[in-house]
Amino acid sequence: MDGPSTRLRLRVTPRAPRSEVVGPHGEVWKVRVAAAPEDGKANEAVCDLVATALGVPRSSTEIVSGAASRDKVVVVHGLTAEEAEARLGASA
């Protein structure tokens, strides 16, 4: 994809009561998703949550590291790091 992109480091809690961006925690963003970590459901929920929080299409997000871990790296196409941080902060 052309244009800016950024990588977000996330700490994910699956099986939460609701999906939400909790906020920054050191150098990572804490997020909770209602989906269980089975069959990729939690990963899909993470991408959906990030896309919604950032106001970008779901196709602009992808997990590039940590698919089987609570610590994930998600790349977001179409936003700079500053834009992504500001939008996540506003949604937390």
Three-state DSSP string of the chain? CCCCEEEEEEEEECCCCCCEEEEEECCEEEEECCCCCCCCHHHHHHHHHHHHHHCCCHHHEEEEECCCCCEEEEEEECCCHHHHHHHHHHHC
User: What is the predicted pLDDT for the residue at 25?
Assistant: 93
User: What is the predicted pLDDT for the residue at 1?
Assistant: 59
**Can you give the pLDDT of all 92 residues of the chain as single tens digits?**
578 999 999 999 999 999 999 999 999 999 999 999 999 999 999 999 999 999 999 999 999 999 999 999 999 999 999 999 999 999 88
User: 5-13 and 71-77: which strand pairing?
Assistant: antiparallel
Residue 45 CB neighbours (<10 A): 21
